[in-house]
Amino acid sequence: MRADQSVEVLTLDGATLRPRASASIGRGPDEILQGTVVPGAGHEAVVAVSAGYDRPSLSLWALDGGRLVAAPAPPAGRGLAIAPAGPTEVYVYGGPARNTVGRLDLASGRFTADVPDLRAPAGTWIVGLA
């Protein structure tokens, strides 16, 4: 991949629609699986981008004061999507996580691989959390 092919996460000024901040995800457009923006979790918003078909991974960025900063990410193979979980936490699920939901504390980087109360029956896949 050439450097100019990397996808970037942008934040826009709500009044002018001009870019306020950007962060390269280090992956090309043909590798992106999905992107999610979740408000809160100790930040203005958390941006999650999953990428890679052979070895999918989840990357996270925190938005604060118009700046995007890399946030702690779960270990590889632990999920490809996020949902709000608490004051500084997000749930991590989907893809290789199959029927389990993990919890990632963005303040400390601590990851709990399986939240028993949110586990689905064996042989099923969790595709969304509300």
Provide the residue ranges of all domains of the chain, joining segments of one domain with +.
Answer: 3-118
pLDDT digits (tens, 9 = 90+) for 81-104: 999 999 999 999 998 899 999 999
Q: 20 or 79: whose pLDDT is higher?
A: 79
Residues 6+ apart with CB under 8 A from 73: 57, 58, 59, 60, 104
pLDDT digits (tens, 9 = 90+) for 48-57: 999 888 888 9
SS3 state of residue 54: coil
**Regarding the domain delimited by 3-118, which CATH topology (the fold level of the hierarchy) does it fall under?**
Lipocalin (2.40.128)
Residue in the structure block whose two tokens are 């601590």: 110
Q: Which pLDDT value is given to residue 1?
A: 46
Q: 38 or 130: whose pLDDT is higher?
A: 38
Regarding beta strands 89-93 and 32-40, do their DSSP bridges make them parallel or antiparallel, or are they unpaired?
Answer: unpaired
| Residue 68 amino acid letter | L
